[in-house]
Amino acid sequence: MKNRRLLAIAAAGVALAVTLTGCGGGSGAGNGDEKITLRFAWWGSDELNAIKAEQIKLFEKANPNIKVEGEPSEYNGYYDKLATQVAGGGAPDALQITYDALPLYKSKNAIADISGDIDQSAFQAGSLDAGIIDGKLYALPTGVGSRGIIVNPAVFEKAGVALPDDTSWTWDDYISIAKELSEKAGKGTYGSSAISNDQSLMAFARQNGEDLYTADGKFGVSEGTAEKFFQFSKDLQESGGSPDASTAAEDASASLEQSLMGQGKVGMTFAPLNFISIYAGASGQELKILNVPGDSAGKVGLVIQPTVQYAVYSKSKHPKEAAKLIDFLLNSEEAGPLNKLTLGIPADPKVLEAITPDLTESEKEQVAFIDRLSQAGGTPQNPIALPTSQLGPIITKLLDDVTFDKTTPADAAKELVSQVETALAAS
């Protein structure tokens, strides 16, 4: 799923302004001869719908006293419908949710604590972090991923530039390499696409001992770090290492296939790992994944994040059975492997091991990068306090103002902090 799928979250936030009360308790139904019905809602493609239909049959076979009613839908409109259902007290027992929307729903008492229903020791280190709030587990990752620097070795080879050592390079090195690629790879080819989103800002923040948000939900990026971020983006562009402001804006709005990386016209880009197969398929070139510049011991910029998550509705009459369902769909030996990498890299090592023989080389590279990131450690990411659909546009607008010389990095940094704090106060 593309990272641009989050645009509907803001609408969900408005709909959820209705005050919700109480967390639902639960029965132990589903045992003995008592029959129960669970509702499960998700969005996805026809392929994902077919996989879930098969998984549900397997769950019902293993649990003959539980019937599951699937409620598949398109992503557009999913959160509007869910918000209405939650406000009315009638949401599905189990539901799909993005990691940046989870804190919003949890804050409205709409998501159940499943800490006691899930064996958390079975998961890859760090993979559950985005579902843990105030020390309690509220959601399971359908699969995990991260960002990284996706590189096109063909562009490096054409320019006669060696691939960087991503265990030691810096952000200054990144600009120098991008500049050299742009100069030597030929007209119309750039060393790097623009680096301009909330995830890249988070990498800068974490490498400076900060995070996007503090543990208590405040904006965690200082003006000084934000200024470094905006200054880096401006320096990268002015060096010629990334496209001019107009071309960069066009690239940001293009489909992945029609982006500069998709066309094989850029050497490096900061993007989700699962984009690599889309870029490679479009360009017909073999791509690689590198770590972001600037990482050092204890200051790891990237985090492992869920592709999406499954959660349990707080007012479900059968929360334990709903938790059993989502755990089965993702982690059982019968159902888990059916997902392959459609929902991210499985967070349960046993499921990942089962599907590894059938992975492509590109998919194996994604798995290897996540394993490397997991071993690198770093502090867990604090919960997202403002949905990406709200933070992203603020960053994009200010970065446009910087790159079009309408404002300075210092003034943009001040404005970023001010706007985000205002948005948090209103949420």
Q: Do domains 3-144+305-368 and 147-302+386-426 have the same CATH topology?
A: yes
pLDDT string in tens for the chain (427-residue length): 333 333 333 333 433 333 333 333 444 444 556 899 999 999 988 888 999 999 999 999 999 999 999 999 988 889 999 999 999 999 999 999 998 889 889 988 999 999 999 999 989 877 898 899 889 999 999 999 899 999 999 999 999 999 999 999 999 999 999 999 999 999 999 999 999 889 999 999 999 999 999 988 899 999 999 999 999 999 999 999 999 999 998 998 898 899 999 999 999 999 988 888 889 888 999 999 999 999 987 789 998 888 899 999 999 999 999 999 999 999 999 999 999 988 889 999 999 999 999 998 888 989 999 888 888 877 778 878 888 878 989 999 999 999 999 999 999 999 999 999 999 998 7
Q: Give me the sheet containing 94-97, strands edge to edge.
A: 66-73, 36-43, 94-97, 309-312, 139-141
Sequence ranges of the domains in the chain: 3-144+305-368, 147-302+386-426
Q: Are 298 and 108 in contact (CB under 8 A)?
A: no
Burial class (CB in 10 A: 0-12, 13-18, 19+), 163: middle
Burial label for 342, CB within 10 Å (0-12, 13-18, 19+), is middle
CATH topology of domain 147-302+386-426: D-Maltodextrin-Binding Protein; domain 2 (3.40.190)
Distance of CA 320 to the CA centre of its chain: 27
CATH homologous superfamily of 3-144+305-368 equals Periplasmic binding protein-like II (3.40.190.10)
Burial 415-425 (b: 16+ CB within 10 A, else e): bbeebbeebbe
